[in-house]
């Protein structure tokens, strides 16, 4: 009598399975789960303070997972439990368990967002539900910059490195957007260090990494009284200290780092460390940096295989500039209209002539006396056609900032170029729409450009 009363709410079997077509069968099986019809096992799923009871069916679950099959039909205590005596499943959100059950019963796979799909993937990985893993993985085959950290963290937690390189490539190619995403704030310490150790990141400058590190370190920090705020600063410094040492401060100039020191982000550094960094930048001496700080002066642009190269040769003629035949110096002043160029080399006409040259070339910035790059040359070019003076390291050209290229000739009779009115041939140029982003500002007084005829630029693709 008791059993009849318990089952009185179940529908007649002939009403539930009126059709054997696949669509109707899936609909009927899903109803078994959503309505709790004919259930023979119960699960209590909990995560922190959230829990929910689910009425399920042993045969259907065993069909979906060998782990469920052993649990429900093997020599385990769960197999002998009464249907209303719940089996405990912890550390999983009830919402995620519900999404899994909806797929198991009715092939539903509407996970809405990547974060939920990742949680479903982790559950299906743990319970050996291979079909569901494949379905969930489709939601993050090409994750957006906002989601790639979430997917990366998920695969790393499962020790699954099959997608590892492709995800790192997405992070590198979209670093600016990734560092501003909500998922970045939830990144693990190991992921933050992994990103900061990468040689190639598409960021405008190390400033982006510095600001992203502070945002990550300050995540969850409480704002309170003065004493509490001091404690928070120490917590932030402790959390960010290892990644801070990976920032390439030597790629910044004094003005850029000075602006950072005025910002909230500067809390990550002690006053002593700030002083050491700015002195190191100003004197171009990496040895003065705080202990274990990165000495690297290379920019984190994408590697050359993924970059586009442009040789830009400005057309200079005698009516555009004043030639100073008495000067042993050549000077050219210019600015870039975007911040995606790196100056790699300078073309000097004198290097293509059959004469010995002795010179020093300096690249400086208008708002700072610091020499950004310097190179000396003495002798003759190996090839008459080789006119390029390669810089010891590339110089990042910032948006609408004036830079000066100056060449000082040390021989008694400096070589003077006579090719200003000669237009470069098409073979000398690699043109593209992006070249128009570089605007040259020519000065028409007291400037000699007797020997500087062009630049070699690297421009990272958008």
pLDDT for position 442: 44
Q: What is the rounded distance in angstroms from the CA atom of residue 135 to the CA atom of residue 124?
A: 10
In a domain, 318, yes or no: yes
Do 25 and 112 belong together in one domain?
yes
Label residue 443 by pLDDT band (50, 70, 90). very low
- What CATH number does residue 223 fall under? 1.25.40.420
Let me know whether 80 and 101 are in one domain. yes
pLDDT score of 350: 74
Residue 72 inside a domain? The answer is yes
Label residue 356 by pLDDT band (50, 70, 90).
confident
What is the spatial distance between Cα 402 and Cα 366, in angstroms, rounded to a whole number? Answer: 5
pLDDT at 146: 93
pLDDT tens by residue, 175-197: 999 999 999 999 999 999 999 99
Q: Residue 190: its pLDDT value, please?
A: 93
- Residue 31: Cβ within 10 Å count: 15
Is residue 90 within 8 A of residue 82, CB to CB? The reply is no
Alpha helices in 264-361 (DSSP H): 271-283
Residue 434 scores a pLDDT above 80: no
Assigned domain for 298 exists:
no
Among 74-78, 163-167, 256-260, 425-429, name the one with the lowest average pLDDT: 425-429
CATH number at 38 reads: 3.30.710.10
Closest CA to 179 of 113, 269, 118, 247: 247
Give the tens place of pLDDT for each residue, 187-245.
Answer: 999 999 999 999 989 888 899 999 999 999 998 664 444 444 455 888 999 999 999 99
Q: Do residue 219 and residue 198 come from a single domain?
A: yes
Query: Is there a single domain that holds both residue 257 and residue 365?
Result: no
Residue 266 has pLDDT above 60, yes or no: yes
Give the end of a domain, one of 106, 138, 170.
138
pLDDT band at 432 (very low <50, low <70, confident <90, very high): very low
Q: Which pLDDT band holds residue 100 (cuts at 50, 70, 90)?
A: very high
Q: Is residue 407 scored above 70 in pLDDT?
A: yes
Is 143 inside any structural domain?
A: no
Q: Report the candidate in 172, 168, 156 with the shortest Cα–Cα distance to residue 209.
A: 172
Predicted TM-score (pTM) of this structure: 0.73
d(CA 276, CA 255): 15
Range from 136-150, 158-172, 381-395 carrying the lowest mean pLDDT: 381-395
∠ CA 42-43-44, nearest 5°, is: 125
| 156 and 263, same domain (yes or no) | yes
Residues 455 and 320 in one domain: yes
The domain containing residue 284 runs over which residues?
A: 148-288
Task: Please say if the pLDDT value at position 383 is more than 50.
Answer: yes
Q: Are residues 213 and 274 in the same domain?
A: yes
Q: Establish if 85 belongs to a structural domain.
A: yes
Domain boundary among 116, 138, 160: 138
Of the three residues 138, 171, 186, the one that is the final residue of a domain is 138
Query: Tell me, what's the pLDDT at 420?
Result: 33
Q: Which of 37-46, 181-190, 378-387, 404-413 has the lowest mean pLDDT?
A: 378-387
The answer to whether position 297 is within a domain reads no
- What's the rounded mean pLDDT across residues 124-150? 93
Mind listing the pLDDT tens digit for each residue in 80-91? Answer: 889 999 999 999
* CATH number for 326: 2.60.120.820
For 141, counting Cβ atoms within 10 Å of its Cβ (0-12 exposed, 13-18 middle, 19+ buried), the class is exposed
Domain annotation covers residue 302: no
Look up residue 80 and give its two tokens.
Answer: 């002998």
How sure is the predictor about 22, in pLDDT bands with cuts at 50, 70 and 90? low
Share of the chain above pLDDT 90, in %: 43
Top mean pLDDT of 13-27, 211-225, 390-404 is at: 390-404
**Total domains present in the chain:** 3
Please, what is the angle between helix 206-218 and helix 226-244, to 10°? 130
CA angle 225, 229, 232 (to 5 degrees): 145
Shared domain for 355 and 415, answered yes or no, is yes
Residue 295 covered by a domain? no
Asked if residue 445 and residue 396 are part of one domain, the reply reads: yes
Q: For position 445, what pLDDT does the model report?
A: 42
151 closest CA partner among 135, 136, 172: 136
**Residues 86 and 188 grouped into a single domain:** no
Whole-angstrom Cα distance, residue 64 to residue 59? 9
Residue 420 and residue 443 in one domain: yes
Q: Are 113 and 202 part of one and the same domain?
A: no
């Amino acid at each position: 009598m008791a059993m009849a009363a318990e089952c009185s709410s179940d529908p007649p079997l002939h009403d539930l399975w009126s059709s054997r077509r696949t669509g109707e069968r899936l609909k009927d099986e899903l109803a078994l789960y959503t309505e709790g019809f004919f259930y023979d096992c119960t699960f209590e799923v909990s995560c922190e303070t959230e829990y929910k009871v689910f009425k399920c069916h042993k045969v259907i679950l065993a069909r979906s997972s060998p782990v469920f099959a052993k649990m429900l039909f093997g020599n385990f205590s769960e197999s002998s439990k009464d249907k209303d005596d719940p089996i405990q499943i912890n550390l999983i959100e009830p919402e995620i368990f519900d999404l899994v059950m909806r797929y198991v019963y009715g092939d539903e796979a509407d996970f809405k967002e990547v974060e939920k799909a990742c949680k479903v993937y982790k559950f299906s990985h743990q319970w050996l539900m291979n079909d569901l893993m494949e379905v969930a993985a489709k939601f993050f085959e090409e994750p957006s910059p906002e989601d790639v950290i979430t997917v990366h963290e998920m695969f790393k937690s499962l020790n699954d490195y099959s997608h590892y390189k492709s995800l790192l490539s997405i992070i590198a190619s979209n670093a600016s957007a990734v560092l501003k995403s909500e998922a970045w704030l939830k990144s693990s310490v190991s992921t933050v260090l992994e990103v900061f150790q990468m040689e190639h990141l598409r960021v405008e400058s190390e400033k982006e990494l510095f600001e992203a590190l502070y945002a990550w370190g300050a995540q969850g920090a409480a704002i309170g009284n003065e004493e509490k705020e001091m404690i928070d600063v120490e917590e932030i410094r402790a959390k960010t200290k290892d990644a801070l040492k990976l920032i390439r401060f030597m790629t910044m100039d004094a003005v850029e780092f000075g602006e950072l020191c005025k910002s909230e982000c500067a809390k990550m550094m002690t006053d002593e460390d700030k002083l050491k960094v700015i002195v190191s930048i100003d004197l171009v001496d990496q040895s003065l940096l705080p202990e274990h700080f990165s000495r690297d002066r290379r920019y984190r642009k994408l590697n050359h295989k993924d970059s586009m190269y442009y040789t830009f040769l400005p057309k200079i003629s005698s009516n555009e500039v004043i030639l100073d035949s008495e000067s042993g110096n050549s000077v050219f002043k210019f600015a870039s209209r975007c911040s995606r160029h790196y100056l790699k080399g300078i073309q000097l006409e004198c290097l293509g002539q059959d004469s010995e040259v002795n010179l020093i070339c300096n690249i400086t910035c208008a708002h700072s006396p610091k020499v950004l790059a310097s190179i000396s040359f003495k002798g003759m070019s190996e090839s008459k056609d080789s006119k390029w003076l390669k810089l010891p390291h590339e110089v990042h050209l910032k948006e609408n900032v004036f830079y000066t290229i100056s060449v000082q000739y040390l021989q008694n009779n400096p070589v003077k170029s006579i090719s200003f009115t000669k237009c470069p041939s098409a073979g000398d140029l690699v043109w593209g729409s992006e070249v128009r982003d570089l605007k040259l500002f020519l000065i028409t007084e007291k400037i000699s450009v007797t020997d500087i005829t062009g630049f070699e630029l690297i421009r990272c693709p958008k």
